[in-house]
A and B are shown apart, each in its own frame.
Chain A
Amino acid sequence: MVQEKVVITNESGLHARPATAFTQLAAKYQSKISLECGDKKADAKSILTVLTLGATKGTEVLLTADGPDEADALKVLKEFLTTEHD
């Protein structure tokens, strides 16, 4: 299992289209991936739970990956949260 705290720096946070893209990206990995934000926890492969986090720019989230491709998953998803998408 690997874990890392990430501050979301992309402008629209995990709203709308970024959330859709994030979930689709997460679904490509075999590992179990979760996002935690305060007392809320989301399955990174579930758009509904990701949206419920309401994570906006500047929010710190705990990204956890557990499984055969956990290192890759963590690296790619972290990058997603910290770069601009339009």
Chain B
Amino acid sequence: MIVRGISGARGIGLGKVYVYTHEDVVIPKDKIEESAVADEQAQIMAALDKTVAQLEAIRDKTAQTMGKKESAIFDAHILIAQDPALIDEAKNLVASEQCTAAEAVSRTVEQFAAVFSAMDDEYMRARGADIKDIGDRLLRNVLGMTPLGLSHLTEEVILVANDLTPSDTASLDKRLVKGIVTACGGPTSHAAIMARTLEIPAVMGVGYIDSFTDGARAIVKGSEGEVLLDPTETEWQEYAVKADNYQRQVQELKNTAKLEAVTKDGHAVLLYGNMGKVRDIERIKQVGGTGVGLFRTEFLYMENDELPSLDKQFATYKQAAEAMEGQPVVIRTMDIGGDKELKCLNLPKEMNPFLGYRAIRICLRHPDILRTQLKAVLKASAYGKLSVMYPMISSVEEVKAANAILNEMKEELRQEGTPFDDQLPVGIMVEIPAVAISAEYFVPYVDFFSIGTNDLCQYTLAVDRMNERISHLYQPLHPSVLHLIKNTIDASHKYNKITGMCGEMAGDPVTTMILLGLGLDEFSMNAASIPMVKHIIRSVTLQECQKIASLALFMDTAESVLNLAKTELEKRGLNL
């Protein structure tokens, strides 16, 4: 049986289905017989043993894959699980109120979590969440349920889920998860982005996952966006070979890491990686990325209830600057709002969040946020080659206002005698059609443009990219989008400035030739896409790409552009 969805991450994965569901906990609230008290108490102790064993396994695995420091948190978790105050209280409740083990555990955990969650100190409040997390695991073990998260996987699987949240994927082991299938979401969902980062073949948005049963064989055809469920033995063998070949090809591509991103006729472009956390830099350098075209700084704002301090931001940016060893890092200022919430700002829910109060719009109303961030970037600029860019710009006034704050911060640093890069390049994200259309008005105020294709497409086409029912209308190759990209690039070139792209489109091999032909100077993408895009760049000439691009600009549908792009790749044997 073939199940169709949308391609989330390329590659072919074979394995047995594991359906991951967020099973709700139902706590039996009935009174127990007095004679059953000892039994229920023993259940708590048994569940505790199981919980500790699971946590130890997670700790050891984390120590192995991420390092000792990251695994230390689980030592604290084990200690909390074993805490005599918690366990004794739960056991006492069973005896005194004759309630079930599950109810006793649940009430005790809630009680402790509430104490911590009500504290003033942010650190202690975070421990409240830890207690709930551990309590949830303990409770599920009492009830004989599978704990949340994916850390309990022990064999190779095709992971099938409605959707995956960051906390699900945090414990995902790349060696065990051979493929991912989700019912909801598209290529820009968290699950898809994660799959591409980890290079796990993935198919998103298949709609219903009822036909998937645990243990059934499945083949995930990531590039096609298809899943083969219960394949024949012949198909299984055939795809096992294909999967091997694909792996080999990917490996060969990685070997090109040291080569330059230059076309056959000598046109060089910048091939950069996108990053969220400093540790991503290692991957970018591994695959031959020569810079960071997008450093998303949101995690600094999202991991705490408080705004990140100057020192904390400075330390992070400095680390990134140093890790790139003199190669450029473009730091995007806070891009919160839209689909990313921010606890510390307590933003009200909006009717239309993507058209609402977000990113630079928040920063200009709360200039202190921008002040702190820009000062941190400037301070860190003394330790490497940094640039800064503002997201969600829609008017020239916003650029001027942000630049005024930047200059104010430079003056402060001068007064303090702190070193910084006075020539720090400044750019804007081009993601609102208004800017792409009138790009020429913006050029005088910036050093570069960076096109954010995800938002540019969604705003140009008025298509919510997360809405599956209209996802076919989300067409990055829509003629209007191509013309906006061209207009942006042309405007920058007219003033000898450059245009980069950091949206999904920059890393899509299908569009590489067209973008080259349009004159894009810098391609910034997920590290995993760099080898393939570089391979294409090195296999073509700028001249032929320019011809293809001008042909594409004459076409009236996204489909015809897509066909053109695919045919041209196939002609050159570049379709992977």
Give chain A's interface residues, CB within 8 Å of chain B: 15-17, 20, 23-24, 43, 45-49, 51-52, 54
Contacts and interface: CB of A to CB of B under 8 A. Distances in A.
A48 B72 contact: no
Interface stretch (B113-121, B136-144, B236-244, B330-338): B113-121
A73 to B, nearest CB: 16
A49 B335 CA distance: 39
Contacts of B119: 54
Interface residues of B, number: 18
A48 B85 contact: yes
B551 interface: no
Interface stretch (B17-25, B73-81, B350-358): B73-81
A51 B127 contact: yes
B131 interface: yes
A47 B79 contact: yes
A23 B121 CA distance: 20
Nearest to B113: A48
A44 B241 CA distance: 59
Contacts of A16: 123
> Counting chain B CB atoms within 10 Å of each CB, which of A16, A24, A48 scores highest?
A48
Contacts of B86: 46, 48
B228 interface: no
A47 B124 contact: no
A48 B123 contact: no
A51 B116 contact: yes
Contacts, number: 36
B559 to A, nearest CB: 57
B124 A20 contact: no
A52 B72 CA distance: 20
Contacts of A46: 83-86
A49 to B, nearest CB: 5
Nearest to B131: A48
Given A46-B83, A47-B76, 19 more contacts: A15-B123, A17-B72, A24-B79, A43-B84, A43-B85, A46-B84, A46-B86, A47-B79, A47-B80, A47-B83, A48-B80, A48-B86, A48-B131, A49-B85, A51-B116, A51-B124, A51-B127, A52-B116, A54-B124
Contacts of A45: 84
A15 B72 CA distance: 15
Provide the main secondary structure of the chain B interface.
helix
A20 B85 contact: no
8 contacts: A16-B123, A23-B79, A24-B79, A45-B84, A46-B83, A47-B83, A48-B85, A48-B131
Contacts of B75: 20
B246 interface: no
Contacts of A49: 83, 85
A49 B84 CA distance: 10
Interface string B166-199: 0000000000000000000000000000000000
A48 B83 contact: yes
B89 to A, nearest CB: 10
B85 A54 contact: no
B55 to A, nearest CB: 14
A20 B84 contact: no
B112 interface: yes
B483 to A, nearest CB: 55
Contacts of A48: 80, 83, 85-86, 112, 131
B79 A20 contact: yes
A52 B83 contact: no
Interface in B58-105: 72, 75-76, 79-80, 83-86
Contacts of B84: 43, 45-46
A23 B83 CA distance: 10
A15 B125 CA distance: 12
Nearest to A24: B79
Given A15-B123, A43-B85, A45-B84, A52 B79 contact: no
Interface in B266-300: none
B118 to A, nearest CB: 11
> Counting chain A CB atoms within 10 Å of each CB, which of B79, B80, B115 scores highest?
B79
Contacts of A54: 119, 121, 124
A19 B75 CA distance: 12
Contacts of B115: 52
A49 B116 CA distance: 10
A23 to B, nearest CB: 6
Nearest to A16: B123
B85 to A, nearest CB: 4
A16 B72 CA distance: 11
Nearest to B127: A51
A15 B121 CA distance: 11
A41 to B, nearest CB: 11
Contacts of B72: 17
B76 A20 contact: yes
Contacts of A15: 123
Nearest to B115: A52
Contacts of B121: 54
A17 B121 CA distance: 16
